[in-house]
Amino acid sequence: MGKSHLPSFQETGQAAIVHAKTMVIATMSVQMAAWQPLAIDDRPRAGRSRPCRVLLIYPQFIPNSFWNYKDTCRLVGAEYPAAPLGLITVAALLPQSWEFRLVNRNTEELTAADFDWADLVMSGGMITQQPDTLALISRCHERGKPIVVGGPDATSSPHLYRSADFQVLGEAEHVIADFVAAWEAGENSGIFTAEKFTIDVTKSPPPRFDLLKFEQYLHVGVQYSRGCPFTCEFCDIIELYGRVPRTKTTPQILAELDQLLRLGYRGHVDFVDDNLIGNTRKRSKLFCRSFGPGNTHMTFLSSSRPRHRSTLPMITNSSQ
């Protein structure tokens, strides 16, 4: 069947989900509910009025980290395992009249031309990207470009990133509007901190998957929920995203998968949820049941620790 005839996830409400060793195959028709994404006021303001050119830079991970699995990537012609979902989510939250260029330092070169093009640099990531993020701050300053940092490591250790011009800490969904207002008013620095765990993810817009070069990755991430009910002592999740999982709606996540299909993506999709099936019984069951056989153009991966035993059979009784 040609690409144009592929059934969408929203039409079929079906997909196959691989959970490490197992696969969920259960079907139900999905009731489409209208959902309203968060919208930033896109009208030009006084101060910096022309649409901003934003260079999104995903910092390099420390070399030799197990999780870089470079050799596995090379086997299939990819450059790095996972796409930068945080940054493309931020791009979707910013005014869409702004222009975006994404450079992933793990997959491609960051050039002088990229810096010359940009009005503003935005960067950030996890702890193993900290040295490169700090180096990027210096590089931006050498080139006279303002830089905004955000993401999990800046949120955990903001004091380390004091040299950045702006910090946007925590989940960006609401607080990014305050940054945009400050930027457009001509401000040159500021710290914007999101109220913890209050983001309604049902209002999050689909990430800007169109900014990705899919061939660079082993898998592309999507996120259905944030937060985890457990409290493993080594894990930052409950500090960053809370103990009460917040989930997107099923139509919302199917729309994200459809967008990937429409952009031509075929392959592995990683549900990057902190604990995909660790959330409330009702929600995780509803979500699992909305996936089933019938759309084999993507395979789905996730790592989870179930909270309710009853969730397990839906996964373990499946096959393909």
Q: Does 28 bind ligand SF4 (CB under 6 A)?
A: no
Rounded to a whole number of angstroms, the minimum distance from the CB of residue 234 to ligand SF4 is 7
Using CB under 6 A, count the residues that bind ligand B12: 39
Angle between helices 281-289 and 250-262 (to 10 degrees): 40
| Among positions 230, 263, 313, 316, the unique one binding ligand SF4 when judged by CB under 6 A | 230
Residue 190, beta-bridge partner list: 166
Window 43 to 72, contacts with ligand B12 (CB under 6 A): 61, 65, 67-68
Q: Which does 228 bind (CB under 5 to 8 A by kind): ligand B12, ligand SF4, none?
A: ligand SF4
Strand ranges (E), 246-314: 246-247, 267-271, 298-302
Q: Does 235 bind ligand SF4 (CB under 6 A)?
A: yes
- Choose the stretch contacting ligand B12; rule: CB under 6 A; options: 40-48, 171-179, 255-263, 293-301: 171-179
- Helix, strand, coil percent content, the chain, rounded in steps of 5: 35, 20, 45
Q: Does 153 bind ligand B12 (CB under 6 A)?
A: yes
Rounded to a whole number of angstroms, the minimum distance from the CB of residue 147 to ligand B12 is 8
Q: Does 180 bind ligand B12 (CB under 6 A)?
A: no
**Residue 184, C-beta contacts closer than 8 angstroms, at least 6 positions apart:** 44, 45, 46, 47, 48, 49
Residue 150, beta-bridge partner list: 168
- Choose the stretch contacting ligand B12; rule: CB under 6 A; options: 1-9, 21-29, 166-174, 251-259: 166-174
Closest alpha carbon to 295 in 277, 318, 317, 320: 320
In the complex with ligand B12, which residue's Cβ is closer, 13 or 151?
Answer: 151
Rounded to a whole number of angstroms, the minimum distance from the CB of residue 29 to ligand SF4 is 31
Q: Which does 183 bind (CB under 5 to 8 A by kind): ligand B12, ligand SF4, none?
A: none
Closest alpha carbon to 298 in 234, 188, 214: 214
Residue 191, beta-bridge partner list: 167
- Choose the stretch contacting ligand SF4; rule: CB under 6 A; options: 27-35, 134-142, 192-200, 231-239: 231-239
Q: Does 13 bind ligand B12 (CB under 6 A)?
A: no
**Residue 255, C-beta contacts closer than 8 angstroms, at least 6 positions apart:** 9, 10, 206
Q: Which does 172 bind (CB under 5 to 8 A by kind): ligand B12, ligand SF4, none?
A: ligand B12
| Among positions 14, 106, 275, 295, the unique one binding ligand SF4 when judged by CB under 6 A | 275
Rounded to a whole number of angstroms, the minimum distance from the CB of residue 295 to ligand B12 is 23
**Residue 313, C-beta contacts closer than 8 angstroms, at least 6 positions apart:** none
Q: What letter represents residue 31's amino acid?
A: Q
Q: Does 244 bind ligand SF4 (CB under 6 A)?
A: no
Closest alpha carbon to 40 in 196, 193, 172, 231: 172
Q: Which does 230 bind (CB under 5 to 8 A by kind): ligand SF4, ligand B12, none?
A: ligand SF4
Residue 188, beta-bridge partner list: none
CA dist 206 and 250 (Å) reads 13
Is 150 in contact with 90 (CB distance < 8 Å)?
A: yes
Q: Using CB under 6 A as the criterion, which residues of the chain lie in contact with ligand SF4 when the complex forms?
A: 228, 230-232, 235, 237-238, 274-275, 305
